[in-house]
Amino acid sequence: MAGFADYVACPRCGRPYPERAFANSRMSSFMTPLHICPACGDLEAWRDHAGWPPVPPREWPVDPDELGREYALMIRASRSGQMQEMRVEELEDE
């Protein structure tokens, strides 16, 4: 069982996650990996798929309202089956 010391704070969202369960940020380089939580890894992948630019590390941690907006748009797009056909602007207008 993981103890508290086995958790680290995600630099992108600020939430704790198990130290060994990380994703590599799109903002990583070969020489400087940036580890983020799996949920933020999913959001970065979705942003890339939707055509949004990545949130640069200098803007981390991401505002909780923006994280909620990202999740809501990702869920709406995946439920509608329109991940490839719709852009974020179209989802926001619904």
Q: What is the pLDDT of residue 48?
A: 85
pLDDT band at residue 4 using 50, 70 and 90 as cut-offs: low
The pLDDT tens digits of the residues spanning 19-77 come to: 888 888 877 766 678 899 999 998 888 888 878 888 889 999 999 998 998 888 888 87
Q: How far is CA 2 from the centre of its chain?
A: 23
Say if CB 10 and CB 17 are below 8 A apart.
yes
Q: How confident is the model at residue 3 (pLDDT cuts 50, 70, 90)?
A: low
Reported confidence tier of residue 88, pLDDT bands at 50, 70, 90? low
CB 41 within 8 A of CB 27: no
Which residue range is the domain that position 30 belongs to?
4-93
Q: Give the residue carrying structure tokens 């010391």.
A: 5
Asked whether the beta carbons of 54 and 23 are under 8 A apart, the reply is no
Q: What is the pTM of this model?
A: 0.74
Domain tally for the chain? Answer: 1
